[in-house]
Amino acid sequence: MKNMSKIAAAALPLIFAGSAAFSQSLDDAKKAIDAEQYQKAKSMLKNLTVTQADKDENYFYLGWVYILQDYADSAKNAFTQGIAKNSKSAINYAGLGAVARLDKNSAAVTSNFNQAITLAGKDSKPYTYIGKAYLLEPADSKAAIDVLSKGKAVNPRDPELLVTLGEANRLAIKSSDALANYNEALAIDPKMTSAIVAKGILWKFANNFEKSEEEFKAALAVNPNYGPAYRAWAETDLRWAFNDPKMASAKIKEGTEKYKQYLSLTDRSIESRIQYADFLLLAGDFKTLQTEVTELSKVAGTNLKVHRYLAYSAVENKDYATALPAMTKFLAEAGEKRIIPRDYIYLGRAQIGTGADTAGINSLKKAITLDTTQVDLYKDIAGALYSSKNYIEAGDAYSDYITKSKKVTLNDYLAMGRSYYFGYQGQLFSTETPKPTPDDALLTKADSAFSYIQQKASAPIATVALYQARVNEYKEKDRNNIEGYARPFYEQYIQLTTAKQPVAEADKKGLAEAYAYLGTIYEFKEKDDAKAAENYGKAREYDPTNKTALRYFQKKGGSGK
């Protein structure tokens, strides 16, 4: 018995040592999650679900890593296993609510979160993770603040909850409250790097970039290997670049280097590299983005987001042949809940870029249907319609763009006017049977667009004057009883074009057209043969192939010299 007591006594330290090792391992996994070393954390947690299979918390944190990595199905499976181990696991019900929120299942969100709170008792962790779930995209900061405030009442000294509440207040544009929450957390744990970084992010959104940098440096002084500080610093550099054009090039370059430091401190997992891709997308570095996601797309089973980004970057790089299959794959496999209007924008542009204009136009129209703020897409639609010679529809699309967009320029009015002009011309010279009746309203719309440009431009524009002349020439219904509607516009075009000598080669056909029209005025309206010959002569001088001038001189039976 004495020996047995000694053996038992000797075994006690080993038992407690094993318990401490487990506790430390779970703590290490949580630290890895905080450091955004997700592969490392996932490996630890998978091991813990085997070696400590009865601990429901292990399954929760594994599921939460899956949430962060955008694998909702795997997360749901982990949370369900956690509840199977402990039917009263409040935190795993919080996890199931997070999955339901990603799946847009509002009934399941409510029931799971309610169950989590019912079972939580004095444990503030379920409140913290319900709050984090509400901050997943699309964030509901109000709901997060409500539940986190209740959690704070349960335990006012939970620093993780306080930082999460700060994040919710920041998103709700309650900056003072957010700063107070972060400082409360730091009063409890002065070395809480996530709280220090959160303060830096708060200053970033206040555009106080120098103050942001101070906080990131402070976080790195506590832990030089804290990767999220470098990531937040990189994202701050990017915002700095967008807000200060003079600093843009330097800050984008600096931000990219900071992000590379972040990657070096994570496990360079697929998910970390996808976060880098997120950064490159925001930075508008589509060349580097395409290179990065092309490599990622070769990894079996990689996140579908990679194919989305491959499509986006390839479109921006005008590599439409690469973009179209990438976007098609993403849309086919992502599921309706993951598809956003922007996906249809890039699908449409890829389709148009590969010559599938009709399909592309339909995709862009779908994007507008899903997000009515995307009014600038009417310009893309108009451009595609114009390229495919659907001029009247193009004019209508330009009209929609001009009416709804805040980025309209005089060039857009020119494009609209040209579209309606060519639409009328197409009707006039149509070979269809039955032949359509030309719609004079198209001329009116074109004329209105051109007139608007001349009124708003700082000086009259020669090209616009030429189109005004052409529109008004089509208003002449009887060439034997010509009224001369186009005359002042052709004369203005001549004056504007010949003001600079020598005349540009590109303007010579237009000048020939203008002089030939004036020739017809003198020939048929004013009956002044000398003036007619003079103007027809100038037309022939600028364009020896001008048919109107050639007709006149052939009719005269000579060269006209």
Give residue-wise pLDDT tens across range 521-551.
999 999 999 999 999 999 999 999 999 999 9
Say if pTM beats, i.e. exceeds, 0.85: no
**Is the pLDDT score of 519 beyond 50?**
yes
Distance between CA atoms of 190 and 175, rounded to whole angstroms? 20
554 assigned to some structural domain: yes
Residue 74 amino acid letter = S
**Residue 299 pLDDT:** 86
Mean pLDDT of the chain: 92
- Phi-psi category of residue 244: left, alpha or beta, with phi > 0 → left and psi -120 to 50 → alpha: beta
Helix ranges, 172-247 (H): 175-188, 193-205, 209-222, 227-243
pLDDT of residue 239: 93
pLDDT band for position 558 (50/70/90)?
low
pLDDT over threshold 80, residue 437: yes
Q: Give pLDDT, residue 559.
A: 52
Average pLDDT score over residue span 150-172: 98
d(CA 276, CA 128): 27
Contacts of 151 (CB under 8 A, 6+ apart): 124, 126, 127, 128, 130, 131, 158, 161
Give domain status of residue 76, yes or no. Answer: no
Q: Are 479 and 445 in contact (CB under 8 A)?
A: no
pLDDT of 267 reads 75
pLDDT in tens, 209-246: 999 999 999 999 999 999 999 999 999 999 999 899 89
Residue 8: its pLDDT value, please?
33
pLDDT average, residue stretch 431-457? 96
Task: Give the pLDDT band of residue 266 (cuts 50, 70, 90).
Answer: confident
In this prediction, residues 348-367 reach a mean pLDDT of 97
Asked whether the beta carbons of 296 and 306 are under 8 A apart, the reply is yes
Check whether 11 has a pLDDT greater than 80.
no
The predicted structure's pLDDT at residue 282: 85
Query: How much of the chain, in percent, has pLDDT values that exceed 90?
Result: 84
Would you say residue 176 lies in a domain? no
Q: What is the mean pLDDT of residues 162-190?
A: 98
Could you tell me which of 308, 349, 342, 345 has the C-alpha nearest to residue 328? 308
Is position 535 within any domain?
yes
Beta carbons of 77 and 60 less than 8 angstroms apart? no
CB 236 within 8 A of CB 204: yes
Split into its structural domains, the chain has a count of 1
Q: What is the pLDDT of residue 55?
A: 96
Instruction: Indicate whether 470 pLDDT > 60.
Output: yes
243 dihedral zone (left: phi>0; alpha: psi -120 to 50; beta): alpha
What is the pLDDT at residue 337?
83
Instruction: Please state the rounded mean pLDDT for residues 475-494.
Output: 88
Query: Residue 104, SS3?
Result: coil
Structural domain includes residue 201: no
Mean pLDDT of 407-411: 97
More confident residue, 248 or 346: 346
Element spanning 22, H or E:
helix 2-34
CA 146 from centroid of its chain's CA atoms: 31
pLDDT at position 50, please?
94
pLDDT of 410 strictly over 60 = yes
Q: Does residue 514 lie within any of the structural domains? A: yes
164's enclosing H/E stretch is helix 159-171
Q: Which residue has the higher pLDDT, 360 or 13?
A: 360
Residue 125 has pLDDT above 80, yes or no: yes
Confidence of residue 7 (pLDDT cuts 50, 70, 90): very low
**How large is the average pLDDT for residues 251-258?**
91
- Cβ partners under 8 Å of residue 393, min gap 6: 385
Are 101 and 140 in contact by the 8 Å Cβ rule? The answer is no
- Model confidence at 70, pLDDT cuts 50, 70, 90, reads confident
Rounded to whole angstroms, how far apart are CA atoms 221 and 35? 15
Which pLDDT score is estimated for 479? 65
Average pLDDT over residues 415-423: 98
The answer to whether residue 507 sits within a structural domain is: yes
Residue span of the structural domain in which 531 resides:
481-561
**Per-residue 3-state assignment (H helix, E strand, C coil) for 65-86:** HHHHCCCHHHHHHHHHHHHHHC
Q: What is the pLDDT of residues 375-400, one digit of tens each?
A: 999 999 999 999 999 999 999 999 99
pLDDT of residue 17: 37
